[in-house]
Chain A
Amino acid sequence: MSAKPNPRVGLFVTCLVDAIRPGIGFAAIQLLEEAGCRVEVPQAQTCCGQPALNSGDDKDAADLARRTIAAFEGHDYVVLPSGSCAGTMVHAYPELLAGDPEWAARARDFAGKTHEITSFLVDVMGYRPRGRRLDATATYHDSCAGLRELGIAAQPRALLASVEGLEMRGLEGNDVCCGFGGTFCVKYSSISNAIVTEKAEAVERTGADLLLSGDLGCLMNMAGKLHRRGAKTRCFHTIEVVAGRAGGPAIGEEG
C-alpha cells in the first residue's frame, strides 16, 4: 500500500486516551507528522460506539457509526491508537449499516480508509522512527482485536525494532487475551481477574522493565493488576515508546 504525499489524516482519539492518557494522542500526532501527514482532530468525534455494540444495542451503535463517519468525511485516512476501536469501524460499521441504503456505501468507504496507527505508519506510510534510543528491556502483549480483526503483529514489532537500545523479550501467551473485554471486566470481574492474574504472572516472569501494547483498555487492565501485585513493570502504549516519550511517566505514574 502506498499513500498519496502529505495525506490529510483525521485522528480518532478514543474515549480512554482522551480521559486517561492524553499523551498517547500527542504521540500519535507526532508520529503521523513525522511520517508526512497533515493531522487534524475533528471536534465532532465522540465514541466509536463499541460499548453499545457489545451490549447488543445495535440501534445506538449504528447511530454513533453514522456520526463518526460524517465527522471524518473529508479526510483521506482515519487513524486510531487502538486496534479495538479500529476493528469496530473496519468490521462492525459496514455490517451495522449494510441495510441502510443511504449509509451502506459510506460505511464501506469509511472502513477502507480507517487504520490502527502502527499498521498505518508501517503499511501505508512506510514509516520508521529515526534517532530514537531507549535503554530498557520490554515485552509486548498482542491486543486481541488488533491481532485477529486487523492482523496487527509485525507492524508494532517493526517500529519497536527501530528504537536503539530497546531489548525485546518474548511473552509467554503473548496472543492470549488479558481479560479486559470492555464491560466484561466489570460485569464478570472475578473471571476477568483470574485471567489478568495469569497475564501479570507471565509479564513478571519476563523480568522486562516495560510492558507495551497497542490498546489502552488492555494496558489499564494489565498495569492495574501489576501495580496491585506490587510489580515494578512500567506500562506504555507502543507508540509512546516509538515517539520517544517513554522518558516521561508510565501509566499510573505522576510526573
Chain B
Amino acid sequence: MNAPQQGFKERADAELKNAVLKIAIDRTTGNAERKRAVAVAAFPEFQAARARGRAIKDHVIAHLDHYLEMFERNATAAGATVHWASDDAEARAIITRICLEADAKLVTRAKSMLGEEIGLPHALADAGIERVETDLAEHIIQLAGERPSHIVWPAMHRTREQVAILFKEAHHPPPAADDPATMVQSARRELRARFLGADIGISGANFLVADTGATCTVTNEGNAELTTTPPRIHIVTAGIEKLVPSTAHAFALLRLLVRSATGGEMTQYTTLHCGPKRPGDADGPEEMHIVLVDNGRTRMLADEFRPMLRCIRCGACMNHCVVYRQIGGHAYGGTYPGPMGAVLTPVLDGLAQSRDLPHACTMNGRCAEVCPVEIPLPTLLRAWRTRSWRERLEPRSVRAALGLWAMAARRPGLYRLGSRIGVRALRLFGRRGWIASLPLAGGWTAYRDLPRPLGRTFMEQYRAEQARKEGRR
C-alpha cells in the first residue's frame, strides 16, 4: 500500500468541505441503512442466523490449519493450482509471474477488496499488463483513476451526475443520455468486447469451500462469471479467513451478507468455481490458480484482533457509522474504510501510520449492533488505543495532560479543589450562560457554545447542605 502523504485530519477536513461527496454518501448509505432495516425486519430468525454465522466463522478460525489443508487437497483434486502468499509482495509476485508466463496482454478483473489490499492494480500496470475492471463501480473507479471508497460500492463517493460526465468523456460512442439505464448499457457495450478478448480473468472469492475445493463469487451484475469463464486462465485471490467448511455454511453466511450489505435476500449471481474446465465442458478456463493470502491474518489469530477474522465484508458497519457518513472512505487512507477499516488498517499498514483511525470514533457502538457476525468493533478499536498508549505513539502533550489529570483523580480532595477552581475560572470567559470562545478548548468553541458553569460545584453545594442539616440537628 502506498501511504497517502497528508495526515488523516487533513484528508478528513478536505472531504468535509466537499458538498457533492456528502450528497453521494447520504444517497448510498442512507439507502443501504433503510433497505437493511427492512430486510432484517422481514427475517425473524436474523438474530439466530447471526449467532450461527459467528459460530461458523469462529469454528473455522479455531481450526484454520485443518480447513486450509482440506481446501488445498480438494481444490488440487479438482484441477486447480493452489499458491500460498505470506504477504502482499509475495501475492503480487505470484500473480504477475502467472500472467507473464502465460504471455498475457489483457487481464479482466472482477471486484475484489483483497486485490486492492495486495496492490494488484499497480503490480499489473508495472508488469505492463493491461487491466480492465469489469464491475460497474470499479469501471468508474478505473476511468477516474481513483481507489475504492467503500468495500461494497467502490464508487460510492461519486454521484450519478459525476459518473455521467466521466462516461461521456471515456466511452466511445458516449452514452446517449445520462439516466442510469442508458449509462449501464453504455458500460456494458464498452466492457463486452474486453471480456471476450482477455487472456486472464482475476476474481476474488466471497467464500472458499473446504470440502469441495470450490471458490464462491457473488455479484449483482454477472461480471464475475464473464470475467472467469471466457479467458484461458482464471486466477482467484482470497484471504485465508474466507474459508468455510461446506457449501451449506457458505449459504448460511450469504444470507447474512446480502441482507447486511444491500438489504436484498439473495445476490443476482452466485457462482461456485470448482477447478478448471473438465473434458466435455462447453466452456471454462483451462487453468485455475488460487492464491491464498495471509498478509497479517495469522498474526491476528494470535492476538486480541482475532474476532476481526470473522468479517464477511458486508459494509454495514460503515453504512451505519456517523464518522464514515461525514468523511467517506478515502479519508481513512487505507484499503478498508469505516469501522472495520479502522481495525484492519493498523494491521496492514502499521499502527504508527494509522494511529488516528482507532481514535476517530465516538464509541457509539452502532457498528457492532449491525455487524452480522457480532464483531465487537468498538472493543477492538479501544484495543488499538491501548496498544498505541503502551507503545508510546500518543502525542506527548496528551500523555502529560492525562497523567496530570489521573494524578488529581487519585486524590479526592485535590480533585474537588481543582473542580472548584476550574468552574470559577470558566465563569470568567462567558456571559449570560454561555462561553463562546475559550483558550485551549478551541476544538469545542470553534463550532459550538459551552454552557457556563453556574458557580459552585455539586460537591460544594451538597456539603454545605449536609452541614446545614447537621447544624439543625
Contacts and interface: CB of A to CB of B under 8 A. Distances in A.
Contacts of B387: 56
Interface string A72-87: 0000000000000000
A195 interface: yes
Interface string B393-434: 010001000110110111110011001001100000000111
Which of B362, B363, B443 is packed against the most chain A CB atoms within 10 Å? B362
A6 interface: no
A254 B433 contact: yes
Contacts of B415: 46-47
Interface string A159-191: 000000000000000011101111011111111
Which of B360, B365, B406, B422 is packed against the most chain A CB atoms within 10 Å? B406
B448 A56 contact: no
A196 B451 contact: no
Contact of B447 (A25, A53, A193): A193
A192 B409 CA distance: 27
A2 interface: no
Interface residues of B, number: 66
A63 interface: yes
24 contacts: A19-B423, A26-B461, A43-B463, A47-B409, A49-B409, A55-B398, A56-B385, A64-B410, A144-B363, A148-B369, A179-B322, A180-B362, A182-B363, A184-B361, A184-B362, A187-B359, A187-B360, A188-B12, A189-B443, A191-B12, A224-B434, A224-B444, A228-B449, A252-B449
Interface in B85-134: none
Interface of A: 13, 15, 17-23, 25-26, 41, 43-47, 49, 51-58, 60, 63-64, 67, 144-145, 148-149, 175-177, 179-182, 184-196, 220-221, 223-225, 227-228, 249, 251-254
A191 B423 contact: no
Contacts of A54: 363, 382, 385
Contacts of A149: 365
Interface in B270-328: 322-323, 326-327
B16 interface: yes
Contacts of A254: 432-433, 452, 454
Contacts of B361: 181, 184
A225 B444 CA distance: 10
Contacts of A144: 362-366
Given A15-B419, A20-B451, A22-B457, 5 more contacts: A52-B406, A56-B382, A56-B385, A56-B388, A64-B410
A196 B451 CA distance: 16
Given A49-B409, A55-B398, A56-B387, A191 B16 contact: yes
Contacts of A193: 446-448
Nearest to A193: B447
Contacts of A194: 16, 326
Interface string B456-473: 111101110000000000
A19 B323 contact: no
B159 to A, nearest CB: 19
Contacts of A148: 364-366, 368-369
B453 interface: yes
A105 B268 CA distance: 52
Given A52-B406, A56-B394, A252 B434 contact: yes
Nearest to A235: B451
